[in-house]
Structure 1
């Protein structure tokens, strides 16, 4: 990225080195994935010459009385150490129990103060309390600058049932479905006239955790048990048999379509993050008109939900050539197997440059 384009957005006349918090972890099912994204982003931004601290939003740093005045001088030393992504979702109860101060506050010790001392927070959070707008809203109140979209578009996109309503209103095709609350599951499931096969998934989950493809009525209760284990609200939608695709959008630029073809099963947690579990092709092998229509729908999703910085939309293409939008991701993954970096690479942008570009376009919302 040309540095002369970067400086004016940052508001710096001379030094371009920034103090950056890469915020990761949290209490979602995507906690471990978030750390992997955060670790890669932190390394990339350090290579660009910035002072970067990788911080766990839930565990925080030190005790409440800890001196953090020189923390960016010790950024690499105190950053979270990251291992490979496990094959299963994290034990959230054990993580809660492991916090030293046992506070009920989502933000760990010193998180807000450290983020306030940074020039910007790079949001590497994924899943609930990372992508649902709550952290973004809190940061707005604390005067903390952060990457990605503002709180309201994040909240809308995170709830798959609500997002479907917006898709339909804007003419974006999406699988038909219903939303169920835990307390109404018995009556509502019977009245919904569900057709099989169908898909049952947590309304605000990510990385396909808790998702089940249900072939017949006898498996529905088991699938609901699995989805309700993770959340109190689930979506039941029609199953679309077809090919899986994703389309990233960076500000006003729609990226090339990427196809994801799992070697076995569907694009679940394991296939998303285990190397060699899926074949990813970018640009996707599609007729030009199909690619263009899918890209148009990706841009339409941004307009419908109010996404202005960067995002990634997931699609299915059925056997008759119909396109269906599944969801919008407001903080796309940045792991070794993530899709957005692969799409940008096709256009010639390196991973390191992509991380700085996300900061550059995100800072624009603070110039208004």
Structure 2
């Protein structure tokens, strides 16, 4: 097939996107596809025309555009199938506050939260007990995130997010173990336990992508009941958001066994250190076979 590999873009996660694209390109070549690389940051106005001449698009974008559904909407107009969620569900999942409303409506616990918009400004009162996380409402890779322990640091954390032209999601800090669960097709993958490196308050950008980053254990060393509960919650969230193909959700499990879903990623990372490929490998998927399966699922969705 003629596959366009869409990566790069203009979000703060551009470098992560390009890093993953290199490995995806190698897999697509190994599968025998005719691959055209397309960076919307350089040639967005030609996306519709390029997509009309392709058999499939493999999207490896993070943030905006990509996870916000814009690229998917253009591909839909071109009649070009692609892997993963459609435009509407992509936008819903990327908007953390909206996604949390969906989680809560379906009985899935998520940390208490507050949305602060730039219109409200840095002097907005904090409605949650400290400590809290402050993060961009739409974005990933933990960019722009702060852990606020003192009330006087709250305005600066908001400024950090507003400088990224974002609204800020303020979220209660839940002490516990971070676990991530991927979905492939309609099947949950093994959980991965994430332990940030010494000196880190949370699973930040360096923990995610540096070679000496967080310890990631797959399968997670948790009891079967907890693992099954999180997998079932992730399947519920995946369906409730209208997602297809694959996704990955981040959870916190407390010492007393309570679990909280933080967010769901519709275009999970595909770098050499990424979580979903690691979980898929544990159930027998090589990276190349994972790419092939995502293409199969995308074509099945479009049929």
Q: TM-score, normalised by structure 2?
A: 0.96
Q: CA deviation at 1:319?
A: 2.6
Shift of residue 209, structure 1, vs aligned partner: 0.3
Question: Which contiguous aligned blocks of 4+ residues in structure 1 show a shift greater than 3 angstroms?
Answer: none
Q: Give yes or no for the alignment of 1:52 onto 2:35.
A: yes
Aligned to 1:41: 24
The within-5 A match list for 1:1-368 is 18-60=1-43, 107-108=44-45, 110-186=46-122, 189-190=124-125, 192-264=126-198, 265=200, 266-367=202-303
Q: Give the greater-gyration-radius structure (CA).
A: 1
Distance apart, 1:113 and its partner CA: 2.1
Counterpart secondary structure, 2:65? coil
Contact 2:48/2:74 (8 A) holds in 1: no
Q: Quote the offset at 1:144 in angstroms.
A: 2.1
> CA deviation digits over 1:250-297, x for unaligned, max 9?
111111001111213121111111112111111100011000001111
Cα distance in 2 for partners of 1:223, 1:320 equals 30
CA drift at 1:317: 1.1
Alpha-carbon shift at residue 20 of structure 1 (Å): 0.7
* RMSD, aligned CA: 1.2
| Alpha-carbon distance between aligned partners in 2 of 1:232 and 1:313, rounded to the nearest angstrom | 22
In structure 1, what is the Cα distance between the partners aligned to 2:249 and 2:266? 9
* Runs (5+) with no aligned partner, structure 2: none
Per-residue deviation, 1:186: 4.6
Distance 2:3 2:70 in 1: 20
Give deviations 1:24-77, integer Å, cap 9, x for gaps.
0111111110111111111111011111122211113xxxxxxxxxxxxxxxxx
Contact 2:192 2:279 in 1 (8 A): yes
Counterparts of 2:172 and 2:90 in 1: how far apart (Å)? 24
Deviations 1:157-204 (A, max 9, x none): 0000000000000001100101111011356x32x5221000100000
Q: Distance in 2 between matches of 1:146 and 1:20?
A: 9
| CA offset digits 1:282-316 (Å, max 9, x no partner) | 11000110000011111011121011211111111
* Inter-partner Cα distance in structure 1 for 2:31 and 2:190: 26
Q: How many residues are aligned here?
A: 301
Gaps of 5+ in 1: 1-17, 61-106
TM-score (norm 1): 0.80
**Contact 2:5/2:60 (CA < 8 Å) preserved in 1?**
yes
Q: Check whether the contact 2:114–2:127 (CA below 8 A) recurs between aligned residues.
A: no
What is the deviation of 1:111?
A: 3.0
